[in-house]
Amino acid sequence: MELYSGYINKLVDELAALPGIGNKSAQRLAFHLIGMPEAKVRRLANSMIEAKANVRYCSKCFTLTDSDLCPICSKANRNHRLIMVVENSRDLAAYEKTGKFEGVYHVLHGAISPMTGIGPGDIKIKELVERCADDVDEVILATNSSLEGETTAMYISKLLKPMGIKVTRIASGVPVGGDLEYIDEVTLTRALDGRVEI
């Protein structure tokens, strides 16, 4: 027997399909939305549609942004010869929050994971190698210290080193399997300062 009407069920199903939202939370959110003033619901729905329509990848570093170049890539006072490679835009934000990094980033949008069938061609590695054909002094590999993150770092290092580029890996201190976005700024700064050439 269906507990709720078709419209409510549909909304609950859509919300439950989002990451980190179970069926109970989806129900709670659905009822909350239904109880909200219509203008507020419209504003929320529009912000989702507008973000989807207007947010794209930066043509240089592939982070999510509103324009062709993201604010970091368009800044002249950043060191564009120093590139930090991260797995996603959330990791970029975590490093950016430390305010200690003067270089630019490259967002891979994932990590190599043979277990789940994600190969080098599925993430932005080719684009990184293309960027490195320009003047680049150092590439800092700041992928997570999970098996996937380490595999990805090794793979990239093997591609870039023959090009004569200095390749470094952020220091451990970032716990194994640790997700960069949850690690505090002091630890991130320490990991960056203690990076070693590989």
Nearest distance, CB of residue 73 and Zn ion, angstroms:
3
Which one of 9-17, 30-38, 42-50, 63-71 is the stretch in contact with Zn ion (CB under 5 A)?
63-71
Please identify, using beta-carbon distances, which residue of 54 and 116 lies nearer to Zn ion. 54
The SS3 call for residue 173 is: coil
Report the residue from 15, 26, 70, 92 that binds Zn ion according to the rule CB under 5 A: 70
Segment 72-131, which members bind Zn ion (CB under 5 A)? Answer: 73
CA pair distance 83, 142, nearest whole angstrom: 10
In 3D space, the residue among 94, 95, 121 whose CA is nearest the CA of residue 109 turns out to be 121
Please identify, using beta-carbon distances, which residue of 73 and 82 lies nearer to Zn ion. 73
CA pair distance 15, 160, nearest whole angstrom: 42
Which one of 41-49, 64-72, 135-143, 166-174 is the stretch in contact with Zn ion (CB under 5 A)?
64-72
Report the residue from 26, 30, 61, 139 that binds Zn ion according to the rule CB under 5 A: 61
Nearest distance, CB of residue 154 and Zn ion, angstroms:
25
Nearest distance, CB of residue 149 and Zn ion, angstroms:
21
Please identify, using beta-carbon distances, which residue of 78 and 161 lies nearer to Zn ion. 78
Is the Cβ–Cβ distance between 18 and 3 less than 8 Å? Answer: no
For residue 125, CA distances in Å to 11, 153, 169, 179 come to 37, 10, 16, 20
Please identify, using beta-carbon distances, which residue of 61 and 132 lies nearer to Zn ion. 61
In sequence order, which ranges of 17-141 are alpha helices (DSSP H)? Answer: 23-35, 38-54, 89-98, 125-131
Q: What is the DSSP string of 138-153?
A: EEEE---SSHHHHHHH
Residue 124 tokens, joined: 């932005």
Report the residue from 11, 58, 86, 142 that binds Zn ion according to the rule CB under 5 A: 58
Which one of 50-58, 76-84, 120-128, 166-174 is the stretch in contact with Zn ion (CB under 5 A)?
50-58
Q: Which residues bind Zn ion (CB under 5 A)?
A: 58, 60-61, 70, 73
